[in-house]
């Protein structure tokens, strides 16, 4: 039987409704089936809440006779193309059905751009494996993203942590109980969710993140994002907001998504006036892991990277992530590449 010839065509969509229109195909692909950060809903919420006046959404979609084969959600900022959802997502990638030719079409379109930036790309992504073949593409940073393996239950995890951490957890529970009635809920009920989410955002803002200007509350766009993604995640049964309270007062929380048998951490915070003596974070996290293992969760992806000492107290296992910078083959791309190389050389001499 003769094979139907491919008619691959790339189009650029600039409105967020593209994610809704393509959601059935999009979410049936392998990447989105493994990670909530690659689903159409995640990108849709990001595009509707986090883009500002200087940003232009550009979703590259490769189709074969009208049927989508690959897609890449990006944001144009001047002469740069930046991966959508940069800074929060645990991973970013091309969404595709395995068609290598469709992936090559997207990569070919990117090579014509002056500059492209990708954050937290999986080490085996087509974006990462393309770097050695593109002369002006480079990995600007290599990250090791920690995760806790729960596939064998909680015992190997607790058996692998230091005795000082185990001791701090026991002491923390005792000190918290000396203050008042301690309660840990690893999944806030829908009726309590709006109030607890507001309290969690306010708690984070009172700590070092608020002082540094990086808390959710410091950015109206971040607040809108988490309010809306909370609604979406709760609707799809992904949301896991775990809270630790003392006499009903919130003193610690973890905002996580549970998806495809894995937990993904998004943000967390604790009452810093109590945490140093009571180890609120460790008490809450150990309980969270226990409950997750009991219900068959395979792993907890902590996000961030291995430079966070607290995270590495719980695990030695990591997933490869890379940040990529690519310069185009056009005159502006070659010029930008040369200037970037000159800055690196200058910085080396200054160091």
| CATH 3.40.630 matches 8-143+320-350 | yes
* Average pLDDT over every residue of 233-244: 97
* Average pLDDT over every residue of 75-92: 89
CB-based contact 334:327 (threshold 8 Å): yes
| CATH 3.30.420.40 matches 151-297 | no
pLDDT tens digits for 24-42? 999 999 999 999 999 999 9
- Check residue 96 and give its pLDDT: 97
Residue 77: CB atoms within 10 A of its CB come to 15
Q: How confident is the model at residue 329 (pLDDT cuts 50, 70, 90)?
A: confident
pLDDT tens digits for 252-280? 999 999 999 999 999 999 999 887 788 99
CB-based contact 81:50 (threshold 8 Å): no
- Check residue 2 and give its pLDDT: 43
Residues carrying CATH 3.40.630.30, the chain:
151-297
Burial degree of 48 (CB within 10 A; 0-12, 13-18, 19+): middle
* Average pLDDT over every residue of 242-246: 97
- Check residue 240 and give its pLDDT: 97
* Average pLDDT over every residue of 215-233: 96
Residue 85 CA to its chain's centroid (Å): 8
Q: What is the pTM of this model?
A: 0.91
Distances from the Cα of 349 to the Cαs of 140, 336, 342, in angstroms? 19, 20, 11
Q: Which residue has the higher pLDDT, 307 or 333?
A: 307
Residue 44: CB atoms within 10 A of its CB come to 22
Q: Token match 């942590």: residue? A: 161
- Check residue 98 and give its pLDDT: 94
Q: How confident is the model at residue 22 (pLDDT cuts 50, 70, 90)?
A: very high
Residue 257: CB atoms within 10 A of its CB come to 22
User: Using CA atoms, how far apart are residues 267 and 191, in angstroms rounded to an integer?
Assistant: 21
* Average pLDDT over every residue of 298-320: 94
User: Using CA atoms, how far apart are residues 321 and 250, in angstroms rounded to an integer?
Assistant: 34
Residues sharing a CB contact under 8 Å with residue 220, sequence separation 6 or more, in sequence order: none
Kindly give the pairing relationship between strand 299-301 and strand 67-77.
unpaired
User: Is the pLDDT score of 68 beyond 50?
Assistant: yes
User: Is the pLDDT score of 198 beyond 50?
Assistant: yes
- What SS3 class is residue 250? strand
User: Using CA atoms, how far apart are residues 84 and 254, in angstroms rounded to an integer?
Assistant: 24
Residues in the chain: 351
User: Using CA atoms, how far apart are residues 247 and 147, in angstroms rounded to an integer?
Assistant: 32
User: Using CA atoms, how far apart are residues 212 and 219, in angstroms rounded to an integer?
Assistant: 12
User: Using CA atoms, how far apart are residues 24 and 332, in angstroms rounded to an integer?
Assistant: 38
- Check residue 342 and give its pLDDT: 58
- Check residue 348 and give its pLDDT: 59
- Check residue 349 and give its pLDDT: 59
Mean pLDDT of the chain: 92
- What SS3 class is residue 52? coil
User: Is the pLDDT score of 228 beyond 70?
Assistant: yes
- What SS3 class is residue 326? strand
* Average pLDDT over every residue of 188-214: 96
* Average pLDDT over every residue of 289-305: 95
User: Is the pLDDT score of 177 beyond 90?
Assistant: yes
- HSE, side-chain direction, 13 A CA sphere, residue 106: 26
Looking at mean pLDDT, say which of 2-6, 50-54, 187-191, 305-309 comes out highest.
187-191
User: Is the pLDDT score of 60 beyond 90?
Assistant: yes
């Amino acid at each position: 039987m003769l094979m139907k010839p491919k008619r691959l065509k790339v189009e650029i969509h600039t409105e967020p409704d593209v994610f809704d229109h393509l959601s059935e195909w999009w979410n049936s692909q392998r990447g989105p089936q493994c990670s909530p950060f690659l689903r159409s809903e995640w990108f849709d919420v990001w595009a509707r809440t986090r883009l500002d006046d200087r940003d232009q959404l550009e979703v590259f979609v490769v189709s074969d006779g009208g049927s989508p084969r690959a897609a890449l959600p990006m944001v144009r900022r001047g002469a740069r193309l930046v991966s959508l959802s940069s800074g929060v997502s645990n991973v970013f990638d091309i969404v595709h059905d395995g068609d290598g030719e469709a992936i090559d079409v997207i990569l070919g379109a990117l090579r014509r751009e002056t500059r492209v930036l990708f954050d937290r790309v999986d080490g085996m992504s087509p974006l990462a494996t393309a770097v050695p073949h593109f002369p002006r593409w480079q990995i600007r940073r290599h990250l090791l993203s920690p995760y806790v393996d729960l596939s064998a239950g909680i015992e190997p995890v607790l058996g692998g942590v230091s005795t000082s951490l185990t001791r701090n957890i026991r002491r923390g529970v005792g000190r918290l109980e000396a203050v008042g009635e301690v309660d840990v809920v690893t999944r806030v009920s829908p009726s309590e969710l709006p109030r607890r989410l507001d309290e969690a955002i306010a708690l984070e803002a009172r700590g070092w993140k608020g002082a540094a200007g990086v808390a959710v509350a410091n950015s109206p766009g971040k607040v809108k994002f988490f309010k809306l993604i909370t609604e979406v995640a709760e609707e799809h049964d992904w949301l896991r907001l775990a809270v630790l309270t003392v006499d009903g007062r919130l003193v610690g929380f973890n905002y996580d998504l549970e998806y495809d048998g894995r937990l993904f951490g998004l943000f967390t915070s604790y009452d810093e006036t109590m945490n140093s003596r009571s180890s609120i974070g460790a008490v809450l996290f150990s309980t969270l892991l226990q409950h997750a293992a009991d219900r068959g969760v395979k792993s907890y992806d902590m996000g961030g990277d291995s430079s966070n000492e607290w995270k590495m107290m719980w695990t030695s296992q990591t997933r490869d992530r890379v940040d990529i910078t690519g310069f185009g083959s056009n005159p502006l791309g070659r010029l930008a590449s040369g200037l970037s190389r000159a800055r690196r050389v200058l910085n080396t001499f200054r160091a």
